[in-house]
Structure formats: structure tokens, C-alpha cells
């Protein structure tokens, strides 16, 4: 452990790992104290060395993509934060359908625009989605309106295992569900993902993109500090078992009269009650207090335990 810490400190001296880097700036909630060590990279060798170090030591390590589904503690993070930076996409026409490889640090929204530019459909649900391809795979980010899930067009993922080795896994060997991927149960670092797309008339794809964006603009708070949905929506089974009027958690929270409820500078959005908004300098503690209050209110009124969607980094 001490040797590994020394090694990290050596890398710090080389200027690659920054000490005491404030994390709030790397998350859309704009909350979080400093990381003990921070590195932004897309270099496979660097990532492999760090990942191996992490797995062979007790140095806690966390990956950030776009930070749009993450909450860091006010005290920050003791260990190493790895932020995946952007890299180039690759296009392969040699397959039956066009295949595009996106690096994990590629912005999901920009990936949707790239796919549109190439004249392919299949990334409509990523249009307007904050964050990166790595985060979207990890969360299997979804667009429930069109029943889209990130894994829909997935062929394979390249990742680093705990030995820092590069492995390619085909989609059938992974599990994906609503807001879930096998990556949530593994200690793997996603490097890139391959997707197959279908050529389609650009005007038609554009029409669907516009619908997604319009729906986002009318139903979600825009231009605010938020991490999107705080709680996972309810499954159809939970809805029928509990005799709930809807599977939309936003609606249930609204029915508890909690829209606009505020703890310190953290508030339940008045636009979408499943979004919490940092009104200024909110803290992680305020966020969690609000989570507790909302969860308890929904449990009392609807007898259902809400599950958190935002990843709270201990």
C-alpha cells in the first residue's frame, strides 16, 4: 500500500496526476470536494497502469465520464479519480451494416450528431443526453418515450479488466436492463464500444431528433445544475403489485406536494419532480437530506420504496 502510494506520488511529480483537484466542476450537479488525485486521459497504457494499480492496491479509484449521473461527497474523494477524455470515432464499412466505434469519453449527444451526419438511425435516444458513451453503456441510459436503450445497437465493448488487460466482450455475454448493465457489478473500465447502425433517410432521422429534443425541453429543467432523474422509475410489475396510478416517479413525488421543496440550496424541480436542482452552492448533505424526505413521503403515501438512480460516490 505504502509503495503504491509512493508510486502515485511519483506520477504526481511527473505532472500527470493532479493532487487535490476540486470535483464539483466535473459533475453536472456542481457538487463535491477535492479528489486526492485526479487524472484526465484517454491513453490506454496510462489507463491500464492505473487500473492495475487500483486493483492490486487498496487505492480507491472512480471513473468519471460526463459526471451527469454522479454525486460526490462534500469532503471529496480519497483516492484516484480518472476522467476519460475524448478521442476519435472509427467507421467500418466492411460489415453487413455500418459499424461505428466510439471511445468511452466521446460525448453521447455529439455521438448522436455524428451518426445523423453519417446518415444512420439508432442513436435517437442519445440526442440531448448529457455525458459520455462510457457512462451511457454503464448506466444503459434510456429514452423511455421511444423505448430506446443505449445497448440496443451495441455489438461489443472493449474494456480493461482488473489486471489492466484489454478485453473485447460481445453484447450477448453482457446483461442489460432498464438503467442497468453488467458493468455495474464488475470492476471494469470501459474503453470503447462498437455499434451497428441502419442507413435511413436523413430528414426522417432529423424529425425524430427534433421530437426527442422538444420533449426534453418541455418536460425537463434546462440549463440548471442537476443530475437528471434522482430515482429510477417504477417497473410495470411494481406498478401493478402496488396498485399505483403510474410508473412515473416524478408524478408520484408531485402528488406528495413536493415540487419546489427546498433544503438549503437543493430543490425539487418545479418542472420535473424527479429532478433535483442545485440552486447555487448546494451541498451533498443537502441533496441527501432531500432524497430522504422525498423517499419517505412517497413511501408513506404510495407504500413504495424508491431506488436511487444517481451514483453516490462513497
Ligand X SMILES: Cc1cc2nc3c(=O)[nH]c(=O)nc-3n(C[C@H](O)[C@H](O)[C@H](O)COP(=O)(O)OP(=O)(O)OC[C@H]3O[C@@H](n4cnc5c(N)ncnc54)[C@H](O)[C@@H]3O)c2cc1C
Q: Which three cell numbers stand for residue 156?
A: 461489443
Contact between 192 and ligand X per CB under 6 A: no
- Closer to ligand X by CB, 15 or 223: give it: 223
Q: Which listed range, 37-45, 137-145, 199-207, 230-238, lies at the site for ligand X (CB under 6 A)?
A: 137-145
Question: Cβ distance 141 to 150 under 8 Å?
Answer: yes
Secondary structure (3-state) at 106: coil
Q: What does R_g of the chain's alpha carbons equal in angstroms?
A: 20
- Calculate the CA dihedral of residues 60, 65, 66, 72 and round it to 10 degrees: -10
Angstrom distance (rounded) from CA 196 to CA 156:
10
Contact between 67 and ligand X per CB under 6 A: yes
Angstrom distance (rounded) from CA 78 to CA 12:
15
Contact between 123 and ligand X per CB under 6 A: no
Q: Which listed range, 93-101, 133-141, 164-172, 246-254, lies at the site for ligand X (CB under 6 A)?
A: 133-141
CA 205 to chain centre: 24
Helices (H), the chain: 2-13, 44-56, 108-117, 133-139, 202-219, 236-241, 249-255, 284-302
- Closer to ligand X by CB, 117 or 314: give it: 314
Q: Helix axis angle, 108-117 relative to 202-219, nearest 10°? A: 160
Contact between 112 and ligand X per CB under 6 A: no
Q: Which listed range, 9-17, 127-135, 197-205, 232-240, lies at the site for ligand X (CB under 6 A)?
A: 127-135
Site string for ligand X, 23-62 (x = CB under 6 A): -----x---------------------------------x
Contact between 142 and ligand X per CB under 6 A: yes
- Calculate the CA dihedral of residues 113, 117, 118, 121 and round it to 10 degrees: 60
Q: Which listed range, 65-73, 94-102, 163-171, 200-208, lies at the site for ligand X (CB under 6 A)?
A: 65-73
Secondary structure (3-state) at 15: coil
Contact between 181 and ligand X per CB under 6 A: no
Angstrom distance (rounded) from CA 219 to CA 31:
24
CB of 288 to ligand X, least distance (A): 17
Contact between 69 and ligand X per CB under 6 A: yes
CB of 236 to ligand X, least distance (A): 17
Contact between 267 and ligand X per CB under 6 A: no
Of the candidate residues 100, 154, 157, 190, the single one contacting ligand X (CB under 6 A): 190
Q: How many CB atoms within 10 Å of residue 264?
A: 16
Contact between 77 and ligand X per CB under 6 A: no
Of the candidate residues 8, 80, 189, 263, the single one contacting ligand X (CB under 6 A): 189
Task: Summarize as ranges the residues that interact with ligand X (CB under 6 A).
Answer: 28, 62-70, 84, 104, 108, 129-132, 134-136, 138-139, 141-143, 183, 189-190, 220, 226-228, 311
Amino acid at each position: 500500500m505504502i509503495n503504491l502510494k509512493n508510486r502515485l506520488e511519483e506520477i504526481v511529480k511527473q505532472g500527470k496526476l493532479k493532487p487535490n483537484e476540486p470535483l464539483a466542476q466535473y459533475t453536472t450537479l456542481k457538487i463535491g470536494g477535492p479528489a486526492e488525485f485526479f487524472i484526465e486521459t484517454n491513453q490506454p497504457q496510462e489507463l491500464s497502469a492505473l487500473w492495475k494499480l487500483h486493483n492490486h492496491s487498496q487505492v480507491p479509484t472512480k471513473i468519471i465520464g460526463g459526471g451527469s449521473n454522479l454525486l460526490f461527497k462534500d469532503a471529496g474523494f480519497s483516492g484516484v479519480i480518472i476522467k476519460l477524455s475524448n478521442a476519435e470515432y472509427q467507421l467500418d464499412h466492411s460489415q453487413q451494416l455500418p459499424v461505428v466505434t466510439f471511445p468511452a469519453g466521446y460525448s453521447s449527444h455529439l455521438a448522436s450528431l455524428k451518426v445523423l451526419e453519417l446518415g444512420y438511425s439508432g442513436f435517437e435516444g442519445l440526442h440531448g443526453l448529457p455525458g459520455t458513451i462510457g457512462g451511457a453503456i454503464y448506466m444503459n441510459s434510456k429514452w423511455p418515450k421511444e423505448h430506446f436503450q443505449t445497448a440496443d445497437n451495441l455489438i461489443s465493448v472493449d474494456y480493461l479488466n482488473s489486471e489492466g488487460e484489454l478485453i473485447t466482450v460481445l453484447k450477448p455475454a453482457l446483461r442489460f436492463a432498464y438503467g442497468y448493465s453488467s458493468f455495474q457489478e464488475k470492476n471494469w473500465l470501459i474503453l470503447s464500444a462498437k455499434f451497428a447502425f441502419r442507413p435511413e433517410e436523413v430528414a426522417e432521422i432529423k424529425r425524430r431528433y427534433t421530437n426527442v429534443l422538444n420533449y426534453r425541453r418541455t418536460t425537463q429543467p434546462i440549463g440548471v445544475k442537476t443530475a437528471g432523474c434522482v430515482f429510477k422509475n417504477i417497473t410495470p410489475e411494481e406498478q401493478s403489485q402496488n396498485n399505483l396510478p403510474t410508473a412515473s416517479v416524478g408524478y408520484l413525488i408531485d402528488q406528495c406536494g413536493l415540487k419546489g421543496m427546498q433544503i438549503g440550496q437543493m430543490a425539487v424541480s418545479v418542472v420535473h419532480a424527479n429532478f433535483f436542482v442545485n440552486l447555487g452552492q448546494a451541498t451533498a448533505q443537502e441533496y441527501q437530506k432531500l432524497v430522504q424526505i422525498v423517499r419517505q413521503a412517497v413511501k408513506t403515501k404510495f407504500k413504495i420504496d424508491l431506488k436511487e438512480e444517481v451514483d453516490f460516490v462513497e
